[in-house]
Structure 1
């Protein structure tokens, strides 16, 4: 065997997996359907376990140079009354490091630089994913929510399920006096650090599928909420604000692997962003796959190693999918505050 791997998708999970496999001695090719690699996005919170994954990939020091720690944040009502603290200090105590904030653009820059001489073919539409496993010793589906690899290889593959929520994201030009989330019936607004000198904001609003609200309608939704929310939205620019319908996968996969094919990131466990864990889980997937043997002698060696990857990653990731789904439902409700606050106390660090 030549230890050749093909990765479908050049997002966070795909690039991180390419780095890990290449470091482990595999010959890697990355296929991306877009004409160029898309690095747009706003803030990501990198938790201690995902920081350890980036250490494993040789990127820990650069991560820490580019990030700001996120240690203190409140959950409040629309009028500004404190409901609870976000569990950032608990995450730091358990993990030995604070959550580190970085823009998706900056993280993608890091990953692309570290990929090095790995072959990346953009503008490559995968029309017959089944042929890939005949030409390579390992196939990795890192092609997101609507994964062609998942659809081709996995029986009764889950499909995207609309959460009922549309997420808006942007960057504001001033630093607020405090960070955190504000929860109201059917909608949530959050403000976090992003990078030195940059502040991230996001809104999650209950919206019928297919309905496209304008930025003015979003401003109207949050009119009268506590400062600085109206100011943030007043300064938002229609051309730079990102808007996405939020989906997860249902039902859950029985395995992340089949034969010499493995799924990572959203292709395996797409989740709502309520816990801020999507990028972290993709990085953990990539670090786990980096443990594959560098010189497998037979296809059985690859299959055995992939089953170990599945045993290590599937249950923890799927548990977070479920918890994130519940948090999405509870964060925007005016009822069930007891259940909502109890869930905050058991969220994983």
Structure 2
């Protein structure tokens, strides 16, 4: 049949997979359940490993141009004192790439633009994936709500499941797995109107609460408020609730909330795959991104790990080995690293945002006494990653169109 792939899900990981597979010479169809991609979302930070992966996909330069480097800031207490300073320039010197902040919608658009017209199909819901025939996968689809796209049955040599933390594909492939678990924290976030900020990036830790922001290149900022609490709680007036929760905390927290339109606030409970998957591959189906290793946001590595997945998968397939061998190599390379980062993110949350009571004072004292380079070394631990090389555009005979 040829190298034909269907990517399920058009989030950051799915789009990156589509780009990478095309670079590897595959014909790619990306299907997305949402009828319209409305570019909803707030902002996102990308560490050096994510930027390097995007470079390998050929979109790193455009992302850098649309992003703002994160050089100044760090971690503070609610009263405003510094627990740790961030030296973004030192990180860039060590890694060869900066940490950047970019609106999620902008990143999504840049990834979409790197795919050829006609390869992304919206309003298509995948209802089943059958890989019982060796060497072939059959994908059953139907139009999603409010879509005029007819149902279809697609034959492929490979399916990439990038359908998120609540992945239906993962649930079907691993029916004994418990699926995503609530982390104990919920997050509210938004993009502000333009305002002046003194730092590029800040996180403030209180008791069971975190407030952070990243500055964006157009003068806006993304802020997030992460709170301990039960799942499912929502507020009629989210901004009012946050003003009450963070009353007395240092500026610019109040100014960030004041610069936010009420309708811009997003609220999501944080779920993760606390039980690691036994494999990222089942037959000719590869799991990628949150579908494979959904993690808490405490290290800012979720999107970076998804893009890493996409590059490693494409590189394994481009090496010329048969598809099954390539998928085994992808699982062997990606599963240990991604699951290790997910574990580290969970631990970071427990000693950071989720911590409460007398232990907070002990943690703060330890951070103040820590060597100045400790924060840099902690970030290097996860961001110091070199992607495998992908074929340059045009060096592989592509089957697209």
Does the TM-score normalized on the shorter chain lie above 0.5? yes
Tell me whether 72-81 or 123-132 shows the greater mean CA deviation.
123-132
Which residue number in structure 2 is paired with residue 136 of structure 1?
156
Superposition map of 1:72-111 within 5 A = 72-86=72-86, 88-89=88-89, 91-111=91-111
What are structure 1's unaligned runs of at least 5 residues? none
Which residue number in structure 2 is paired with residue 170 of structure 1?
190
- The reply to whether residue 148 of structure 1 matches residue 168 of structure 2 is yes
Instruction: Quote the offset at 1:87 in angstroms.
Output: 6.3
Structure 1 consecutive aligned stretches of length 4 or more whose deviation exceeds 6 Å: none
TM (normalized to structure 1)?
0.92
Compared with structure 1, are the counterparts of its residues 152 and 90 closer, same or farther at alpha carbon in structure 2 (3 Å cutoff)?
A: farther
Instruction: Quote the offset at 1:118 in angstroms.
Output: 4.8
Which residue number in structure 1 is paired with residue 233 of structure 2?
211
Compared with structure 1, are the counterparts of its residues 246 and 86 closer, same or farther at alpha carbon in structure 2 (3 Å cutoff)?
A: farther
Aligned partner of residue 31 in structure 1, secondary structure: strand
Residues 128 and 169 of structure 2 are in contact (CA less than 8 Å); yes or no, is this contact kept in structure 1?
A: no
Residues 77 and 83 of structure 2 are in contact (CA less than 8 Å); yes or no, is this contact kept in structure 1?
A: yes
Residues 42 and 194 of structure 1 are in contact (CA less than 8 Å); yes or no, is this contact kept in structure 2?
A: no
Instruction: Quote the offset at 1:9 in angstroms.
Output: 0.3
Compared with structure 1, are the counterparts of its residues 116 and 201 closer, same or farther at alpha carbon in structure 2 (3 Å cutoff)?
A: same
- Residues 101-135 of structure 1: CA deviation (Å, up to 9, x unaligned): 11111111111110113522211122222268232
Superposition map of 1:294-309 within 5 A = 301-309=322-330
Greater gyration radius: 2
Compared with structure 1, are the counterparts of its residues 340 and 206 closer, same or farther at alpha carbon in structure 2 (3 Å cutoff)?
A: farther
Choose from 246, 257, 273 the match for 1:233: 257
- Residues 71-105 of structure 1: CA deviation (Å, up to 9, x unaligned): 12121111111111246455324311211211111
Compared with structure 1, are the counterparts of its residues 69 and 212 closer, same or farther at alpha carbon in structure 2 (3 Å cutoff)?
A: same
Residues 77 and 83 of structure 1 are in contact (CA less than 8 Å); yes or no, is this contact kept in structure 2?
A: yes
Instruction: Quote the offset at 1:195 in angstroms.
Output: 2.5
Aligned residue pairs, count = 346
Residues 170 and 236 of structure 1 are in contact (CA less than 8 Å); yes or no, is this contact kept in structure 2?
A: yes
How far apart, in 2, do the equivalents of 1:314 and 1:91 lie?
26
Residues 11 and 37 of structure 1 are in contact (CA less than 8 Å); yes or no, is this contact kept in structure 2?
A: no
How far apart, in 1, do the equivalents of 2:309 and 2:366 lie?
29
Aligned partner of residue 115 in structure 1, secondary structure: coil
TM (normalized to structure 2)?
0.81
Compared with structure 1, are the counterparts of its residues 204 and 77 closer, same or farther at alpha carbon in structure 2 (3 Å cutoff)?
A: same
Choose from 268, 281, 285 the match for 2:309: 285
Choose from 228, 250, 263 the match for 2:274: 250
Instruction: Quote the offset at 1:270 in angstroms.
Output: 0.6
- Residues 147-172 of structure 1: CA deviation (Å, up to 9, x unaligned): 11111123533411111111111122
- Residues 222-279 of structure 1: CA deviation (Å, up to 9, x unaligned): 0011112122223322211111111111210111112211011100111111111111
Compared with structure 1, are the counterparts of its residues 166 and 312 closer, same or farther at alpha carbon in structure 2 (3 Å cutoff)?
A: same
What are structure 2's unaligned runs of at least 5 residues? 139-154, 384-401
How far apart, in 2, do the equivalents of 1:193 and 1:30 lie?
32
- The reply to whether residue 321 of structure 1 matches residue 353 of structure 2 is no
Instruction: Quote the offset at 1:142 in angstroms.
Output: 0.3
Aligned partner of residue 167 in structure 1, secondary structure: strand
Residues 184 and 229 of structure 2 are in contact (CA less than 8 Å); yes or no, is this contact kept in structure 1?
A: yes
